[in-house]
A and B are shown apart, each in its own frame.
Chain A
Amino acid sequence: MNDLISNSDLLRMYRQMVSIRAFEESLSDMFGKGLLGGTSHFCIGQESCAVGVISAARDDDWLISNHRGHGHLLARGLDIARVMGELMGKLSGYCGGRGGSQHLSAIDHCFLGTNGITGGGIPIATGAALALKYRKSSSIAIVFFGDGASNQGTFHESLNMASLWKLPVLYVCENNLYGMSNPVSKSCASGNVAVRASAYAMRGETHDGFDVEHVHRVAGEALARIRAGEGPELLELMTYRQCGHSKNDARVYRTREEEARMAERDCLLLTANSLRRRGLSQEDIDAAAEAARQDVAAAAEAAMAAPTGGRRHALDGLFA
């Protein structure tokens, strides 16, 4: 079914993945220069999950993300300068700097929000799906979370309800092998997240999350089944966070050898290889990557120049 993804589609997906990578590398640089406060959770190495799933969704499918959400935001096509602005606390940001990385929504893009509580977005997505079903919409709610969140009660309770009520929701678990420092082997008794779906009479599958074409295909198939009314599904994508959990993580819980081994499966490398196999020139591939980097650099500059809010912006707007 790979022939469903045209060369230009794959090149576009590649460019998006590079822009997510460049976005986070740019953030890393800004942290180093003291331009960003707090912390941030990067998805370096996991870009194929965000791009593969979201490219298979409709623009009016609702997305719910988590603390590691930059990939999902950019894959949905949000304005990079406004996402960057949000992280820098600028008024130009999608939430005017009130939300930041972990609390960023863009309702005009059907992006219901990133979420700073591990597992917190799972019931919210389930509720969004309930509303979609109630209003007889053909849209689907798609929620991203990690292996760590699958140990929260909200995961189990929500899957149970969604299955009972046949809600149009796709649960996407990006299994990057670690919940912060805790490996899946020490936190998930079943050793695998997808198998947990069987307890809720739900279809659950584990797939290679490094291969963006494969992710796109399996997500598209799942979404088609859900749209046909076959009920919610759990899609587990095996991936790897090449960076630390957040900006201050010395990664003492894993070896550099493991990291080197996993880096061979870097989704950008794999996609570039696939593009070459499809006959694209190195020049075209490099040009796409360069264009993505330039997009990010221009966005960073625009975000940097935007103003921050003042006292009123901080203290107004608690209630509607």
Chain B
Amino acid sequence: MTDDERTIYYSKAVNEALDEELARDDSVILMGEDIGCYGGAFGVTKGLYEKYGAERIWETPISENSFVGVAVGAAMMGLRPVVEIMFMDFLALALDQLLNSAGKLHYMYNGQVTVPMVLRTPGGAKGGYGPSHSQMLSNLLVGIPGIKVVAPSTPAQVKGILKAAIRDPNPVVVIENKRLYPQRGYVAAGDYVLPLDKAEVAAAGKDITLISYSSMTPVCLAVKEALKPVGIDLEVLDLISLQPLDKESIFASVRKTGRVIIVEEACLTGGVAAEVSALISEHCLDALEAPIIRVAAADMPIPSALALEKFVLPQAEDIVAAVKRIQEY
């Protein structure tokens, strides 16, 4: 197969990971709404129902809290359920089982059980989906002890990360992104897994570090390209893992550039950017040559109208403006 043929959509990379893990391990089952013949709201599970049947692909009624709880119970008994929450906003309906069961059981039952489940969900806005179908709620998840949270930004990442998440003995939330599903990238053929706790330097640079994840990483990379001609050399650090954070990679980049902008699609207050900023302040304040800048969504619901949405969500121009500010400090 040529490299060109292995340039696939992010959604296809997710599909391949699910397909390969279903084939590899019969304890893997899928659960979620409309993931059968419909193939999932974003087509991610297309073809899997036809291939594996109802015994492996559990199409659920619209009962998020309970089917996440069902997955917890099945995981405690040794299955490896991979649950799809159609839109990340709907996670609110299932938060109890994530917060009070999945994240706590291994610890509070003193290691007697593990909860090897994966919850996949697309976060983020795609343009016009409106207040209840557009949020990036990573900020809520990273505050839950006992849950690993990852938000891969490329097809190659999501395939290796999702496979690793399925094989991990702990509950893992994989944040996918509606804006990333139709993006393409090279994905190596065959089986591979990626670490669940490592960031990746998406593009090396020496002047300023942009730290981002999920849909904002491609935006940061585009900003890097746009500013190249004016002689600004940006480094883009893609977090991938939000819980735990890869502190060493973060600190290494900060020590290299001394100037940091953290970019995320979630709300500004109490988010991943705030946490990364606090860590940098605690551990490498001496390396900073300018105050840290956060570029994030406004602390607002996301309006439906495209004309309004852009004022709430972080834009490339906001990152460019932040670069100017941090340079002039």
Query: Which chain A residues have a beta carbon within 8 Å of chain B's beta carbons?
Result: 62, 64, 94-96, 98-99, 103-107, 112-113, 115-117, 120, 122-132, 134-135, 141, 153-154, 157-158, 160-161, 164-165, 317-320
Contact = CB atoms under 8 A, between A and B. Distances in A.
Nearest to B71: A127
Interface of A is mostly: mixed
B217 to A, nearest CB: 26
Interface residues of B, number: 43
Given A105-B112, A128-B76, A158 B66 contact: yes
Given A120-B96, A157-B66, A112 B73 contact: yes
Given A94-B110, A317-B106, A320-B111, A123 B69 contact: yes
Q: Which 7 residue pairs of A and B lie closest in terms of their CB atoms, listed nearest first?
A: A127-B73, A123-B69, A157-B66, A131-B77, A157-B63, A127-B70, A124-B73
B269 interface: no
Interface of B: 29, 55, 58, 60-61, 63, 65-79, 81, 96-97, 100-101, 104-114, 116, 145-146, 148, 169-170
A48 to B, nearest CB: 27
Nearest to A314: B107
20 contacts: A62-B77, A98-B108, A99-B108, A112-B73, A112-B76, A123-B97, A124-B72, A124-B101, A127-B70, A127-B75, A131-B77, A134-B79, A157-B65, A157-B67, A161-B70, A165-B58, A317-B111, A318-B146, A319-B146, A320-B111
Nearest to A93: B110
Contact of A124 (B69, B79, B107, B108): B69
Contacts of A127: 69-77, 81
B73 A126 contact: yes
B65 A95 contact: no
A95 B112 contact: yes
A91 to B, nearest CB: 9
A154 B74 contact: no
Contacts of B113: 105, 107, 112-113
Contacts of B55: 134
B115 to A, nearest CB: 8
B294 to A, nearest CB: 28
Given A95-B109, A124-B73, A157-B63, A318 B145 contact: yes
Given A120-B96, A132-B77, A98 B110 contact: yes
Given A94-B110, A107-B112, A120 B73 contact: no
Given A116-B100, A123-B97, A317-B106, 16 more contacts: A103-B109, A105-B113, A107-B109, A113-B105, A113-B109, A113-B113, A115-B101, A123-B69, A127-B74, A127-B76, A131-B78, A131-B79, A160-B61, A319-B146, A319-B170, A320-B114
A160 B71 CA distance: 15
Contacts of A165: 58
A103 B106 CA distance: 11
Contacts of A319: 106, 146, 148, 169-170
A317 B110 CA distance: 7
Contacts of A105: 109, 112-113
Contacts of A95: 108-110, 112
Given A122-B69, A124-B69, A161-B66, A117 B109 contact: no
B63 A318 contact: no
A275 B283 CA distance: 72
B100 A120 contact: yes
A127 to B, nearest CB: 2
A104 B112 CA distance: 10
Contacts of A106: 112
A131 to B, nearest CB: 4
Contacts of A122: 66, 69
A123 B65 contact: yes
A131 B73 contact: yes
A128 B74 contact: yes
Contact of A123 (B58, B73, B104, B109): B73
Contacts of B97: 120, 123
A103 B108 CA distance: 7
Interface hub of A115, A120, A141 (most chain B Cβ within 10 A): A120
B170 A320 contact: yes
Contacts of B60: 161
A123 B72 contact: yes
Given A116-B100, A120-B100, A124-B76, A130 B70 contact: yes
Given A99-B109, A116-B100, A127-B70, A154 B77 contact: no
